[in-house]
Amino acid sequence: QVQLVQSGAEVKKPGASVKVSCKASGYTFTDYYIQWVRQAPGQGLEWMGWIDPNSGGTNYPQKFQGRVTMTRDTSINTASMELNGLRSDDTAMYYCARGGLGSASCYGCRAFDIWGQGTTVAVSS
Amino acid sequence: DIQMTQSPSSLSASVGDRVTVTCRASQSISTYLNWYQQKSGEVPNLLIYAASSLRGGVPSRFSGSGSGTDFTLTISSLQPEDVATYYCQQSYSSPLTFGQGTKVEIK
Q: What is the model's pLDDT at position A103?
A: 81
Q: What average pLDDT does range B30-52 have in this prediction? A: 97
Residues of B in contact with A111 (CB under 8 A): 34, 46, 49-50, 89, 91
CA-closest candidate to residue B2, choices B95, B80, B75, B73: B95
Asked if the Cβ–Cβ distance from A44 to B89 is below 8 Å, we say: no
Task: Count the neighbouring beta carbons within 10 Å of the beta carbon of residue A11.
Answer: 12
- State residue A107's pLDDT score: 81
A19 three-state secondary structure: strand
Position B32 scores a pLDDT of 96
Tell which of B43, B73, B100 to mutate to test the A interface (max A CBs under 10 Å): B43
pLDDT tens digits along A58-82: 999 999 999 999 999 999 999 999 9
Using 50 as the pLDDT threshold, list the residues of chain A that sit under it. Answer: none
Q: What pLDDT is recorded for position A108?
A: 79
pLDDT confidence band for B33 (50 / 70 / 90): very high
By a Cβ cutoff of 8 Å, what residues of chain B touch chain A?
A: 1, 30, 32, 34, 36, 38, 43-46, 49-50, 53, 55, 87, 89, 91-101
Nearest chain A residue to B88, by CA: A45
A95: chain B residues, CB-CB within 8 Å: 43-44
Residues of A in contact with B91 (CB under 8 A): 102, 104-105, 109-111
Preceding amide of B95 cis, omega within 30: yes
Asked if B97 and B5 count as a contact pair (C-beta separation under 8 A), the reply is: no
Q: What is the DSSP string of chain B?
A: ---EEEE-SEEEE-TT--EEEEEEESS--TT-EEEEEE-TTS--EEEEETTTEEPTTS-TTEEEEEETTEEEEEESS--GGG-EEEEEEE-SSSSPEE---EEEEE-
Q: Could you tell me the pLDDT band of residue B11, with boundaries at 50, 70 and 90? A: very high
Instruction: Determine, for residues A111 and B89 on separate chains, whether the beta-carbon distance falls below 8 Å.
Output: yes
Enumerate the residues of chain B whose CB falls inside 8 A of the CB of residue A108: 94, 96
Residue A125 touches partner B, C-beta closer than 8 Å: no
Among B57, B90, B62, B92, which Cα is nearest to A114's?
A: B57
What is the per-residue DSSP string for A24-77?
EESS-GGGSEEEEEEE-TT---EEEEEE-TTT--EE--GGGTTTEEEEEETTTT
Cα–Cα distance measured from residue A81 to residue B67, given in angstroms and rounded to the nearest whole number: 33
Provide, as residue numbers in chain A, all residues whose Cβ is less than 8 Å from the Cβ of B1: 61
Nearest CA in chain A to B35: A111
Q: Encode pLDDT of B44-99 as tens digits.
A: 999 999 999 999 999 999 999 999 999 999 999 999 999 999 999 999 999 999 99
